[in-house]
């Protein structure tokens, strides 16, 4: 039983999670397929993926609500695969919060302590402290349905924090909230993570959320982890086509790599980083903000074509480009200066810097 | 009766669907409410007047009830039986309802069949099953003798044991269905949340599931208790001379001794008892909402009232959690197995009757010496049985037509119309299934006599229609809730007038519900025996009436064949219902 008097921020040794080849099958379908992941104590890691990619199932196997068909879950090097959920000492924040409707806010937050038979005086002190921490001290006597979505979310966090678990598991905690509130709570959770220093495993299908909050992001697709990296690397160095197109917008350009030079669809020479695997067919990934459209002499070598559409989106303008070979590309131009821009129908050349392209073979 | 739980939904739905201004929809309520006023409110008022000796006012009848030890005894018997049956039903029903909510798909399907099939099988057929099971030469005694556990048949029938066993079996679905409604609305994730916060399975059940299922438990207990107080068929057929309940006494006074005033006084006592229980229940549970008596608002005081019990459960749960480490892991299998066992018990009487109906013997012998269709042949070749069947169908068709039309109009009016006192209207519409059938039947009898309709098939059909209307209303209102008003707006925007909208949009979408409601109304009339006993005794021989006579006189196996046919018919109704439900879910 975990009942440390000190907040665990002084104690960064616990809270490491390791998943070894987790597998879970529902009927014929593989919900989670050979997932291995190592999370260090105090780390904030996101499981990012489209709906149905197995994120919740993975999280529920960590929490103990789903039994993996094979594989192991370790908490601080202790095998907890078969441990029932109530003995795992992991804090879980559920999708839609799962606050007990028949209890007040204070009773909800006290619940984990009641279950651990914490003495009354200590229980009250801890409940009050954690409620203050999430700025809900004034709402202790209310019932969950009398709170706003954001407040309910905070109660859920308070309830998961109050028994001081080394790890917090969060399943799309902001999914039910509107955009403004999401951004606000995003920062709050991030601050909380810094303050309490707990390991957090955060499930989301929102790439922006994952990139903004995490130390590392694990991108999942069809039950498998496709890439685990820091947010910058996920975005700049996607490991495969799925990651490249799921995280952010991307231009995919088919390329033939022949004796050290990349050739485009019309056999033009394309800028690409060096590769070592000899001749092959590949895809070049270029983010829209890295794709430059130039006219006349000044244009760098690249793909010839013309502008087919322009959309003003506030901070930037999205320029649609169609190459002479029929390839549809997108360029994002920040609206920094009100200088002359291209117009629809203008001929131009699409180009990018060598380091802004990623070579993907698949 | 179990459908009454949905009246809360009626309230919610109807409010949500209400247009901003009064609409002509409200007029649709007129025919149905006049019908119910004349055939339900007036009779009960009349009954009240009769009980006070009208036109010579007196309270002598009530004094007689209070002073005569025989009648006090009747009241005590009724109360004792009702309490024991309610308690037993609760204990046996909770595991089934729990497993029905939390179990896997296969288990749930099996349990649902075990609950719903008996629910739709006529009370008479189920009571008959217990006669066959418990009799001196009945199935249970046969088995006990063959096992050598007893040397002589044990007296199980025509005594308290028989009444309690039979009644418990008959009312169990009434307990399970409202429990199920509430339990299945509990978010299963809350249990996970409890587990994640350190609660053992037992502690999570005690601190989260049980408190949240409390309204369903109270509703079920109330329904069953009220039903027991006014129960007639089962105690009358399974009880002994010392087990006279108030309904049997009412019947004896009104039908046997033609002592109308005294019978009316007894009925009033029963009615007051039922109202008192409802009122008492409303102190723990928003029953006024359950019955549509109030316009919503479950105040905080109600939740505060429940607080005490919840705190108590929290303490027990917390203690249970401390023991968790020392308790052997129960594994999740105990409850499903126990629930399945209970469900088998629930199904068994019905199944045994079907089994015995194929017996080659002309007596009830268990196990059957051989199989034959002779019971069915006897039924199909006996003009008396066939004529009774035709009579039943004729009456049921009349009742179904009236109940479906009036009920559907009431449902539309309640859902779409705006009038003052809608709460009272809903209460009026639903009360025929809350009030004891015997009392309503007696009251109806008194009124029909005044207009010379007693003993006529039409008069009987009127009575059945009153009883069936609430079911029709509940089913249609539930369906109208799913009818998205934007369809109608879309139709209107596309140029359809109000009538065309009704014809092309509303009618086709409501049709499946109407069909189900009509089937149910038919079943209610077709299975009824209480109304016949009062409104048509000696004059109208319906199928249940012939069965009743058969059971009370010579218990011959042809009845088993008839009961089985009734069950088959009930199964068809369930099947049609499921089929239409599925089709709707797909579209
Ligand atoms: N209890 C279940 N029974 C059957 N299939 C399930 C169950 N839970 C999840 N699945 C399936 O497993 C896959 C992964 O689901 P899930 O982990 O919930 O995905 P995510 O959380 O990423 O949206 C989905 O295809 C889903 O349909
Ligand atoms: Mg999910």
Q: Distance from A259 to chain B by nearest Cα, in Å?
A: 58
pLDDT of B329 higher than 70: no
pLDDT of B308 higher than 60: no
Structural domain contains residue B15:
no
Structural domain contains residue A120:
no
Do B411 and B508 share a domain, yes or no?
yes
Strand order in the sheet with A303-312: A292-294, A347-351, A303-312, A316-323, A328-334
The predicted-structure confidence for A23-40, as pLDDT tens digits, reads as follows 999 988 999 999 999 999
Band the pLDDT of B584: cuts 50, 70, 90.
Answer: low
| Parent domain of A311 | 249-360
Task: Give the Cα separation of B546 and B542 in Å (integer).
Answer: 6
Residues 6+ apart with CB under 8 A from A60: A66
Domain boundary residue, one of A201, A227, A242: A242
Band the pLDDT of A78: cuts 50, 70, 90.
Answer: very high
Do B327 and B433 share a domain, yes or no?
no
Task: Give the Cα separation of B86 and A25 in Å (integer).
Answer: 44
Task: Give the Cα separation of B563 and B123 in Å (integer).
Answer: 10
Do A274 and A216 share a domain, yes or no?
no
Do A181 and A315 share a domain, yes or no?
no
For helices B105-120 and B558-586, the axis angle rounded to 10 degrees is 130
Do A85 and A179 share a domain, yes or no?
yes
CATH of the domain at A15: 3.40.50.300
Domain boundary residue, one of A242, A270, A295: A242
Band the pLDDT of B294: cuts 50, 70, 90.
Answer: very low
The predicted-structure confidence for A90-146, as pLDDT tens digits, reads as follows 999 988 889 998 889 999 999 999 999 899 999 999 999 999 988 899 999 999 989
Q: Which residue from A23, A30, A52, A67 has its CB within 8 A of the most atoms of ligand 1, so it is best to mutate?
A: A52
Domains: count for chain A: 2
Parallel, antiparallel, or unpaired: how do β-strands A78-79 and A280-286 relate?
unpaired
Residue with tokens 């794709």: A291
Do B30 and B75 share a domain, yes or no?
no
Task: Give the Cα separation of A22 and A223 in Å (integer).
Answer: 10
Structural domain contains residue A83:
yes
Do A211 and A275 share a domain, yes or no?
no
CATH of the domain at A355: 2.40.50.140
A10 to A7, A188, B184: CA distances (angstroms) = 7, 20, 44
CATH of the domain at B148: 1.10.3720.10
Do A228 and A198 share a domain, yes or no?
yes
Give chain B's contact residues with A (Cβ, < 8 Å). 187, 189-190, 192-201, 203-204, 207-208, 211-212, 303, 306, 310, 314, 317-318, 321-322, 324
CB contact under 8 A, A98 and B192: yes
Structural domain contains residue A130:
no
Do B407 and B285 share a domain, yes or no?
no
Indicate the helix (H) or strand (E) that contains A141: none
Q: What value does the mean pLDDT take over residues B406-426?
A: 83
Do A236 and A254 share a domain, yes or no?
no
Domains: count for chain B: 2
Do B128 and B52 share a domain, yes or no?
no
Do A49 and A170 share a domain, yes or no?
yes
Is residue B138 within 8 Å of B157, Cβ to Cβ?
A: yes
Structural domain contains residue B289:
yes
Do B387 and B533 share a domain, yes or no?
yes
Q: Which letter does DSSP use for residue A299 in this model?
A: P
Chain A interface, mutation test: which of B186, B191, B196, most A Cβ atoms within 10 Å? B196
Note the pLDDT of residue B313. 81
Strand order in the sheet with A261-263: A269-270, A261-263, A251-258, A280-286, A357-360
The predicted-structure confidence for B26-76, as pLDDT tens digits, reads as follows 888 899 999 999 999 999 999 999 999 877 888 989 999 999 999 999 999
Computed on alpha carbons and rounded to an integer, the radius of gyration of chain B in Å comes to 25
Do B144 and B38 share a domain, yes or no?
no
Residue with tokens 């201004």: B21
Do A225 and A264 share a domain, yes or no?
no
Phi/psi at A319 (5° precision): -105, 125
Structural domain contains residue A114:
no
Domain boundary residue, one of B271, B300, B335: B335
For helices B383-416 and B543-552, the axis angle rounded to 10 degrees is 120
CB contact under 8 A, B203 and A90: no
Do A207 and A237 share a domain, yes or no?
yes
Structural domain contains residue B227:
yes
Query: What residues 76-135 of chain A have any CB closer than 8 A to a CB of chain B?
Result: 84-87, 89-92, 94-96, 98-103, 107, 111-112, 114-117
Residue with tokens 């409620």: A131
Domain boundary residue, one of A242, A274, A308: A242
Structural domain contains residue A97:
no
Structural domain contains residue A117:
no
Do B261 and B376 share a domain, yes or no?
no
Residue whose Cα lies nearest atom 26 of ligand 1: it is: A52
- Note the helical H segments in A174-321: 179-196, 207-213, 231-236, 241-246
Band the pLDDT of B536: cuts 50, 70, 90.
Answer: confident
Do B296 and B382 share a domain, yes or no?
no
Ligand with the closest atom to the CA of A54: 1
The sign of the torsion formed by the CA atoms of B433, B434, B435, B437 equals: positive
| Parent domain of B286 | 70-335
Do B526 and B489 share a domain, yes or no?
yes
Do A268 and A226 share a domain, yes or no?
no
Q: Name the residue among A86, A102, A159 with its Cβ closest to that of B195.
A: A86
Parallel, antiparallel, or unpaired: how do β-strands A167-171 and A199-204 relate?
parallel
Taking CA atoms, what residue in A is nearest to B195? A86
Pocket of ligand 1 (CB under 6 A): A 26, 29, 31, 49, 51-57
pLDDT of B405 higher than 80: yes
Do A196 and A258 share a domain, yes or no?
no
pTM: 0.81
Do A65 and A169 share a domain, yes or no?
yes
């Amino acid at each position: 039983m975990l009942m440390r008097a000190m907040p665990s921020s002084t104690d960064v040794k616990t809270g490491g999670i390791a998943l070894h080849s987790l597998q879970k099958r529902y009927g014929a379908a593989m919900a989670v397929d050979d997932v291995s992941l190592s999370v260090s104590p105090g780390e904030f890691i996101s499981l990012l993926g489209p709906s149905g990619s197995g994120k919740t199932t993975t999280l529920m196997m960590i929490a103990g609500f789903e039994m993996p068909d094979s594989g192991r879950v370790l908490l601080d090097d202790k095998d907890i695969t078969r441990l029932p959920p109530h003995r795992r000492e992991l804090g879980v924040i559920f999708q839609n919060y799962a606050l007990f409707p028949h209890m007040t806010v204070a009773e909800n937050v006290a619940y984990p302590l009641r279950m651990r038979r914490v003495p009354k005086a200590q229980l009250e002190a801890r409940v009050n402290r954690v409620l203050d921490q999430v700025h809900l001290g004034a709402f202790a006597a209310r019932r969950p349905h009398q709170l706003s979505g954001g407040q309910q979310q905070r109660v859920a966090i308070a309830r998961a924090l109050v028994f001081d678990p080394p790890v917090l598991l969060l399943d799309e905690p902001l999914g039910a909230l509107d955009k403004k509130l999401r951004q606000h709570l995003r920062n709050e959770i991030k601050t909380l993570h810094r303050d309490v220093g707990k390991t957090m495993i955060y499930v989301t299908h929102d790439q922006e959320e994952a990139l903004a909050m995490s130390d590392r992001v694990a991108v999942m697709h069809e039950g498998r982890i496709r890439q685990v990296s820091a947010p910058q690397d996920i975005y700049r160095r996607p490991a495969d086509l799925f990651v490249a197109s799921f995280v952010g917008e991307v231009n995919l350009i088919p390329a033939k790599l022949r004796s050290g030079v990349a050739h485009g669809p019309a056999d033009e020479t394309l800028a690409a980083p060096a590769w070592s695997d000899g001749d092959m067919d590949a895809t070049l990934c270029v983010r829209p903000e890295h794709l430059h459209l130039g006219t006349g002499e000044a244009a760098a070598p690249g793909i010839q074509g013309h502008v087919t559409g322009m959309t003003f989106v506030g901070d930037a303008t999205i320029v649609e480009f169609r190459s002479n070979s029929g390839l549809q590309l997108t360029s994002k131009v920040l609206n920094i200066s009100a200088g002359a821009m291209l117009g629809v129908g203008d001929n131009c050349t699409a180009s990018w810097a060598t380091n802004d392209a990623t070579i993907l073979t698949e | 009766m179990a459908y009454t739980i949905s009246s809360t939904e009626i309230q919610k739905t109807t409010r949500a669907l209400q247009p901003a201004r009064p609409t002509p929809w409200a007029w649709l309520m007129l025919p149905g409410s006049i019908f119910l006023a004349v055939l339900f409110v007036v009779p009960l008022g009349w009954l009240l007047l009769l009980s006070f000796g009208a036109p010579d006012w007196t309270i002598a009848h009530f004094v007689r009830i209070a002073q005569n030890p025989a009648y006090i005894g009747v009241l005590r018997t009724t109360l004792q039986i009702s309490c024991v049956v309610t308690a037993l039903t609760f204990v046996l029903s909770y595991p089934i309802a729990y497993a029905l909510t939390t179990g896997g798909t296969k288990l749930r399907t099996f349990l649902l069949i075990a609950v719903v099939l008996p629910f739709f099988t006529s009370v008479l057929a189920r009571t008959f099953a217990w006669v066959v099971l418990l009799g001196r030469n009945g199935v249970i005694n046969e088995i006990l003798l063959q096992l050598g556990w007893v040397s002589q048949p044990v007296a199980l029938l025509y005594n308290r044991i028989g009444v309690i066993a039979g009644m418990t079996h008959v009312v169990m679905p009434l307990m399970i269905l409202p429990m199920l409604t509430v339990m299945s609305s509990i978010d299963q994730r809350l249990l996970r949340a409890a587990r994640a916060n350190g609660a053992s399975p037992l502690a999570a059940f005690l601190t989260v599931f049980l408190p949240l299922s409390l309204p369903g438990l109270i509703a079920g207990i109330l329904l069953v208790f009220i039903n027991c107080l006014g129960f007639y068929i089962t105690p009358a057929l399974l009880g002994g001379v010392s087990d006279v309940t108030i309904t049997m006494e009412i019947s004896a006074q009104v039908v046997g001794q033609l002592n109308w005033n005294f019978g009316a006084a007894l009925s009033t006592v029963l009615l007051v008892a039922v109202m008192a229980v409802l009122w008492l229940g409303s102190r723990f549970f928003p029953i006024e909402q359950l019955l549509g008596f109030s316009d919503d608002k479950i105040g905080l005081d109600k939740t505060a009232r429940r607080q005490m019990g919840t705190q108590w459960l929290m303490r027990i749960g917390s203690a249970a959690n401390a023991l968790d480490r020392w308790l052997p892991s129960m594994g999740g299998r105990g409850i499903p197995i126990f629930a399945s066992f209970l469900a088998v018990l629930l199904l068994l009487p019905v199944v045994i009757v079907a089994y015995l109906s194929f017996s080659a013997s002309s007596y009830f012998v268990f196990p059957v010496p051989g199989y034959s269709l002779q019971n069915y042949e006897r039924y199909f070749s006996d003009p008396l049985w066939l004529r009774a069947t035709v009579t039943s169908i004729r009456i049921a068709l009349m009742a179904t037509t009236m109940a479906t039309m009036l009920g559907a109009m009431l449902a539309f009016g309640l859902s779409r119309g705006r009038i003052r006192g809608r709460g009272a209207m809903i209460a009026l519409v639903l009360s025929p299934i809350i009030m004891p059938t015997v009392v309503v039947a007696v009251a109806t009898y008194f009124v029909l006599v005044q207009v010379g309709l007693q003993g006529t098939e039409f008069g009987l059909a009127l009575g059945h229609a009153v009883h069936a209307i609430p079911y029709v209303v509940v089913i249609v209102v539930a369906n109208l809730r799913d009818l998205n008003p934007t369809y109608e707006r879309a139709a209107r925007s596309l140029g359809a007038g109000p009538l065309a909208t009704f014809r092309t949009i509303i009618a086709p979408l409501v049709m499946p519900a109407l069909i189900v409601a009509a089937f149910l109304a038919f079943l209610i009339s077709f299975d009824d025996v209480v109304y016949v006993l009062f409104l048509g005794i000696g004059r109208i021989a319906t199928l249940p009436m012939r069965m009743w006579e058969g059971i009370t006189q010579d218990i011959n196996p042809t009845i088993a064949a008839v009961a089985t046919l009734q069950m088959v018919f009930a199964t068809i109704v369930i099947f049609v219902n499921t089929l239409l439900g599925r089709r709707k879910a797909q579209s």
